[in-house]
Amino acid sequence: MTRPLNIHYFQHVAFEGLHSIEDWIKDNNHKLSSTKFYLDEKLPEIEDIDWLIVMGGPMGVYDEDKYAWLKAEKEFIAQAIDQNKTVLGICLGSQLIAEVCGAKVYPNKQKEIGWFPIQLTDSGRDNFLFKGLPEDLTVFHWHGDTFDLPRDAVRIAETGITKNQAFLINDKVLGLQFHMEVTGKSIADMLIHCKSDIVPGDSVQTAEKISEMRKYFNENNRLLDQLLNALAELTVK
């Protein structure tokens, strides 16, 4: 049993929140706070947090001219990493971490939208955080950008289209391009707000196909809980 953690999260749009992660936080009696940039909320004091979770969004890391808060957000992420905080980035969050750590972020050759399998690398299979995860795991994707592997990072998971699906730096900083936190409601919201992204192809499923594949929700949420438990254990060691 780990001690209660002070967990702060960054949210970029109203429809991409913590989703199943919030349930895990409540179930484990951790303390939760947030900065919702779309509401112009303030950043926390860095010394008040143990974890920083950076969620997704439809914008790109390079959109500072459209979203003025991106610059301050990147500076805070860099500060959190420098101060050895645990940092988890999901989708856009992983891209922001990658850029802060010196990697190039750019449009991928294809979008990945829908339920597709990722493959753990040898490093992923051997890492404490990912023990118990299947080597081929079907997860939810909604991304058009990708990035080079950040400095000091280990590649954890990949697909044929996106080489860097997950990375880990010093067992403290974790980037996931995919979404294991999704619920039926969160996917329905994404299908409403980002429907223009869906141009069906080999790596983009139709809205109907995405909605049909509900069987993956519970397993993804359960495995994410397992991953978060392991990350929490490392935090308090």
**Contact (CB, 8 A) for 168 and 127:** yes
181 tagged catalytic: yes
Given the residues 73, 99, 158, 181, select the one marked as catalytic. Answer: 181
Task: Kindly give, in sequence order, each residue whose CB lies less than 8 Å from that of residue 86, ignoring residues fewer than 6 positions away.
Answer: 50, 51, 52, 172, 173, 231, 234, 235
The strand ranges marked E within 95-170 are 105-120, 136-147, 153-158, 166-169
d(CA 216, CA 190): 17
Catalytic residue among 8, 141, 143, 179: 179
Beta bridge partners of 155: 167
Report H helices in 11-89.
20-27, 69-82
Q: Which of 73, 91, 99, 158 is catalytic?
A: 91
Active site residue 30: no
- 219 catalytically annotated: no
What are the residue numbers of the active site? 91, 179, 181
